[in-house]
Structure 1
Amino acid sequence: MPAPQAQEAVTVSVFVQRFSATRRGARLARRLTTLLLDLWGVPYGGPASDTVTLLVAELASNAALHGQVPGRDFELRLHYDVATGVVRVEVLDTHPGRPNPSRPEGGALDGSRGLLLVGALAARWGVDERQGPGKTVWAEYVLRREAVRGPEPESTPGGLLNNPPG
């Protein structure tokens, strides 16, 4: 009987947090994203960190400004698959309105260019149904290998931000 082949470890970092659907909540989501990316090996101030942070800023801002339902928060989910280099940003809100990916936010005529920017920066983006009321607006960014430091799983306090319980 042949010896079993060792499989390469798959590392996926996940973070999920709810924020108040306010400008302050959107700002906190953006700032926390920058910290998490640095902990996950995507250095603060680098082009990859700045781009992913900008994606979060635009999606969180839209959730706070356009997706707000009184008394309801928005949720930020970040997924980083080390093997593929893909960072997926998901922002979930409870507002029933949906942006149109082919004509985001009414086009550039009303001054709302956030989703045009998301479309230009992300490898892919879209809008999905979610369980319960509302939607999930997501964007994916592919990191270049040189934009990432080696893994530092011990640098995360309590190991809470690296891998979800499974």
Structure 2
Amino acid sequence: MNREKAALQLAAPEVQFDIQLSSTPRGARLARLLAVEWLRPRQDVPYDVTEAAAQIIAELTANAVTHGRVAGRDFRLALAALPGLLRIEVSDTRGSDLPELPEAHAGRGLLLVEKLADRWGVAPGPVPRKTVWAELDHPSDL
């Protein structure tokens, strides 16, 4: 797992998707569906990157509603499409218990993220939040 701090700020990307949803399984499913609908028509994001992003979003949002849920608080999904890069961020309001790559006997969700993403990590704060992010590189000359 790459633990470097997020170098890319989502404040002013070329194209951005940002949504806040309820911390429920239904909210996680809706996050994935809406993100895929936003990504699919994009000519600058290849199909294989969209498919990998859908799997990563499914895992990270499921983790947010399972392990990061605080009653009455939502989670946030943000995507930034930049030339040659797709960045995914999932923020929840449980800043403790930062995720790590699991052992072989633990869950497989982050192992899938590790395999599909070019980079991923965790950015703590601001209190009480944490953000798990993943980046997918792709050719920028599409």
- 1:92 partner letter: S
Counterpart-to-counterpart distance in 1, 2:64 and 2:104:
19
How many angstroms does 1:107 deviate by?
Answer: 1.8
User: 2:60 maps to which residue?
Assistant: 59
Counterpart-to-counterpart distance in 1, 2:135 and 2:66:
22
Please tell me whether Structure 1 or Structure 2 has the larger radius of gyration of its CA atoms.
1
Q: Deviations over 1:131-156 (max 9, x none)?
A: 2302100000012357x5xxxxxxxx
TM-score computed with the length of structure 1 as normaliser: 0.71
Counterpart-to-counterpart distance in 2, 1:15 and 1:145:
19
% identity of equivalent residues? 43
Structure 1: gaps spanning 5 or more residues:
1-10, 149-166
Tell me the number of residue pairs that the alignment of Structure 1 and Structure 2 aligns: 129
Taking only aligned residues, the RMSD between alpha carbons, in angstroms, comes to 1.9
- 1:98 partner letter: L
SS of the residue corresponding to residue 98 of structure 1 reads coil
How many angstroms does 1:22 deviate by?
Answer: 0.9
User: 2:71 maps to which residue?
Assistant: 70
Counterpart-to-counterpart distance in 2, 1:75 and 1:39:
22
Conserved? CA contact 1:19–1:75, under 8 Å: yes
Runs of 4+ in 1 over 4 A off after TM superposition: none
- 1:12 partner letter: E
Q: Which structure dedicates a bigger proportion of its chain to helix? A: 1
